[in-house]
Amino acid sequence: MAHPPTVLALFDLDNTLLPIDSDHEWGNFLVEKGVVDALAYKKANDYFYSAYKAGTLNIDEFLEFALKPLASHPRKQLASWHDEFMRVKIEPHIHTKALDLVKLHQEQNHLCCVVTATNSFVTRPIAKRFGIDHLIATEPQINSEGEFTGKVQGLPNFQSGKVAHVEAWLKEQDLSFESVLNSVFYSDSLNDLPLLEKVKEPIATNPDQRLQSLAIERSWKIIHLFA
């Protein structure tokens, strides 16, 4: 029996399924733990987040900054910190409407995937919390001992990089944007315009001002999960 045509449901994470930016909050968490230089790190963390929101982020400079703490501590310690991070920074921001949105697609057997620029160390447990097994994220490089190097493995999953990574992931499953019955992408940011333009059904979700204006201009659906 032939399988039914695949419907693809892609979700950005930060400020989309979450009302916060997990990358920025991880930086704040490290400051609060005292494992980075508090004043300098917070200043840089806030600067990069502002640049991201303005659409002017230099992704290579940001990743050099963001991945350095991963290389400065063993994986076991990082995992312990991340467990605490999930409890104190993420769990309070898991909202029913976001969980229900994911569940709506899963109940229809849609192929669900989180597609985020934030690195996979930070985001994999968050995607799992939403019940989503598939994650496409920026991948931190790992050395032969299994520790982080502070560098990026491959292309950052940012802007047009998201399209390239999703296309590669679909190809692994003998699928493509052209072969699926429908493809939907939920995002809050104009940084995701390349992938929003690639799917059949772009949905501006809690959109920033720039994306909201474009969504209105193009008659894209707009939803708000966090009133």
Q: How far apart are CA 227 and CA 224, in angstroms?
A: 6
What is the model's pLDDT at position 86?
A: 98
Read off the pLDDT of residues 39-90 as tens digits, 9 standing for 90 and up.
Answer: 999 999 999 999 999 999 999 999 999 999 999 999 999 999 999 999 999 9
1 within some domain: no
Predicted pLDDT at 227: 77
Whether 215 is covered by a domain: the verdict is yes
pLDDT score for 187: 98
Give residue 100's domain range: 7-223
The whole-angstrom separation of Cα 182 and Cα 163 is 16
Establish if 159 belongs to a structural domain: yes
What does pLDDT average to over the chain?
Answer: 96
Residue 208 falls inside a structural domain? yes
pLDDT digits (tens, 9 = 90+) for 124-171: 999 999 999 999 999 999 999 999 999 999 999 999 999 999 999 999
Q: How many domains does the chain have?
A: 1
Instruction: State the CATH number of the domain containing residue 41.
Output: 3.40.50.1000
Q: What's the rounded Cα separation, in Å, for the pair 41 and 22?
A: 16
Q: Is residue 99 part of a domain?
A: yes
The percent of residues in the chain predicted with pLDDT above 70, rounded, is 98
Distances in whole angstroms, Cα of residue 200 to Cα of each of 3, 117, 156, 186: 21, 21, 24, 12
- Roughly what angle, to the nearest 10 degrees, separates helices 22-33 and 59-71? 40
The residues annotated as belonging to the active site are 12, 14
Rounded mean pLDDT, 15-33: 98
- Residues 8 and 166 sit within 8 Å (Cβ to Cβ): no
- Would residue 41 count as lying in a domain? yes
pTM of the model: 0.96
Closest CA to 16 of 193, 217, 215, 204: 204
Does residue 3 register a pLDDT over 70? no
The answer to whether position 34 is within a domain reads: yes
